[in-house]
A and B are shown apart, each in its own frame.
Chain A
Amino acid sequence: MTAASTPIATATTATGAGTARFRRLGAGWLGFTPFALYVLLFLAVPTVYAVASGFFTDAGAFTFANLAAFANPVIVTDMVNSFWVSAVVALVGAVVGALICFALLGAKPTGMLRTVVDSASSVLAQFGGIMLAFAFIALIGLQGVLTLTLKQTFGFDINANGPLLYQVSGLVFPYLYFSIPLMVITFMPAIEGMQHQWAEAAATLGASRATYWWRVAFPILAPAFWGSTILLFANAFSSFATAAALIDQGGIMPLAIKQQLTSETIVGVSNTAGVLALGMLVVMVIVMAAYSMLQRRARRWQR
């Protein structure tokens, strides 16, 4: 104990004797400390711990054997499912969200419509998990309001080819529910950043409206658009609770991880969850790196 406290005391003295600039920097870091600690305790440490667990056997010996999970056709299918569901959700969500943003350009920035859509998007983008799953069960589940209405008034059964909502492809519906508003939130600032002068300048130089969009506006918006799309992908890829409430039979990566952790029929596989988490982490790191790169490009036009 005493040995540890001595260097700290020295450090304090050193800071105290520092220049004003140094002290200000120190104070700045001090203000950052609670957040840094929070991230460390609740993000960094658990992540390292979870991933590291994948490299040990049940008995605690180091091993690479758990990596064999990635050769398991079941896991591969789960990975592929996770991928395509997230990709479909990201693309559809991005296009629909972008269209809403374009439509909103016609509304007054401080007007009622914009305010309502803005705040509604912020709220709905956060609406997920079990609550959302149950909302969809109530709407298009087997006994859902819409399901029964369609059946009774038009004789049309949306579940004719098996339960629509309770399969991997059914996840697209609830996922889109929170993805579209998220697109509106992230893409709107880019569209708002478009300057009138650009269109005017293009028109002065003889560009048609279409040429302006094609040669000026789209290239400027592209990084922001793809960046937001990637964000939607990442968001859908890591969703768990909604899927768990709708399809209990697995089929996507987060559910596969749950299966490895809590199985009571196949025991002693909990460490495999660690390498599966590693797999997801690799995907997320790639995706988020691409996101931040695109964001940096997009910001050039928003200054």
Chain B
Amino acid sequence: MELRAIARTAGTRGGKRILATAALATVVALSLTACAGSGANTANAADAKTLTLEQAQKATSAADFGGMAGLVAAANKEGHLNVITLPPSWANYGKIIAGFQKKYPNIKINSENPNGSSADEVAAAKSQKGQSTAPDVFDLGTAVLDDNLDLLADYKVKNWADLPADYKDAKGKWYYDYTGLMSIGYDSKVIKKAPKSIDDLLGSDYKGKVAIKGDPTQANEAASAVYWANLQSGGTADDIQPGIDFFGKLKKAGNFLSVLPTQATVNSGETPVVIQWSYNNLAWGPAGGSAGNPNWKTVVLPGTALGSYYNQAINADGPNPAAARLWEEYLYSPEVQNLYLASGAYPATLQAMISNKTVDESTLKSVGEPPKNFVQLTADQATKAGSLLGSSWSKTVG
């Protein structure tokens, strides 16, 4: 019953689509022939293909739409793009979304549940399946990604080759987008001396001041703070118990704050020290402009660094498949990869950008070269760490 209903909706949409596509493709082709003298563009537009919703959902590269111009035309016709859990101050997503909006004014971005978790993204995709409000694209943490591979569509962006082989799924189900490093952000008006090691946080200067981004049994970023404390106190990625013990000590010292830090709590001084991704600490500081705290400083401690790439993926059942694919093309363009970098996050194609000189040199200089080797938990290690957190975090810290 339900399946049939979905098929029917899709069918009607497909039907309308064919008519509209035909009309639009003609317009685009005409206008491109008219204004663009270059032969390549004309050829692209002429090649633009009209795909049904089902075909578009299966498209694995821009070529399936007859090239970039065809993809843009198809996305324009859809007119919408549903993104989910992208907070504006996270890794520059505010600017990235605004840039897309400017470049493709005919596609309206609906940004849903900006402060949600990766699990919320998957839940939304499942519960809104077949509806026009379902998310088109995901930005997922590794543990959730591995559990939901069947939701994802295969797609390879134009500069696929720029992504290192171990940064992507061979078929294009997912690919890394960006990573930060775990860092300590602190209000230099309250904490006069910059922390030099993680054990500094146990001192009396930090009484009731240290917060992490949520419950580690729940939020990837909070869990990463534990993984990082673990590496910094001599643990390995295979056993994160020392990290949990560190937060136990922090709690005992009365230094641990269980409130969820936000840009507002940082500005008001409620959470003077926050362990989180470097791009978030940087965005909450002077780099955040008038919304940021001018006294907010970011420290990546010496010793083992921790990173964790998030993954881009397309919802296989998304309502706007062409816009979703255009969004991915946009995200992996040097322009946006530089925007990630400007927020302090290292984009996935950084090495390629450095070698073919598309990287913004001054930004790279201010952010600093990425460390040659930082630890990133493998999926198995993350699962193991997660179950250990589940059984002993609350006992030690809760």
Contact = CB atoms under 8 A, between A and B. Distances in A.
Contacts of B215: 248-250, 255, 259
Interface stretch (A22-30, A34-42, A91-99, A160-168): A160-168
B337 interface: no
B254 A264 contact: no
Interface in B202-236: 208, 214-220, 223
Contacts of A259: 215, 217-218
A159 B383 CA distance: 37
B257 A143 contact: no
A13 interface: no
A262 B120 CA distance: 6
A266 B116 contact: no
Nearest to A137: B270
Contacts of A263: 117, 119, 217-218, 386
Interface string B119-155: 1100100000000000000000101101100000000
B389 interface: yes
Contacts of B214: 248
B119 A267 contact: yes
Contacts of A77: 394-395, 398
Given A74-B394, A163-B208, A262-B218, A267 B257 contact: no
Contacts of B270: 137, 141-143
B387 interface: yes
B119 A261 contact: yes
Interface string B151-176: 00000000000000000000000000
B389 A265 contact: yes
Interface in A118-174: 137, 141-143, 159, 161-163, 166-167
A54 interface: no
A267 B144 contact: yes
A247 B211 CA distance: 11
B217 A250 contact: yes
Contacts of A249: 215, 258, 394, 397-398
B118 A73 contact: no
A57 B370 CA distance: 42
B38 interface: no
A143 B218 CA distance: 27
A72 B217 CA distance: 14
Contacts of B217: 250, 259, 263, 265-266
A85 interface: no
B220 A265 contact: yes
Contacts of B143: 264-267
B268 A265 contact: no
B191 interface: no
Interface in A255-303: 255, 258-259, 261-270
Contacts of A167: 258
Contacts of B385: 265
Interface in A41-97: 72-74, 77-78
B336 interface: no
B208 A162 contact: yes
Nearest to B265: A137
Contacts of B144: 264, 267
Nearest to A164: B208
A259 B259 CA distance: 15
Contacts of B386: 263, 265-267
Contacts of B219: 264-265
B390 interface: yes
Most buried by A among B118, B120, B214, B218: B218
Contact of A266 (B208, B259, B269, B387): B387
Nearest to B259: A166
A163 B257 contact: yes
Interface in B270-293: 270
A266 B390 contact: yes
Contacts of B355: none
7 contacts: A141-B270, A163-B257, A249-B215, A262-B120, A264-B144, A265-B382, A266-B390
Given A142-B257, A163-B257, 4 more contacts: A163-B208, A248-B214, A250-B217, A264-B118
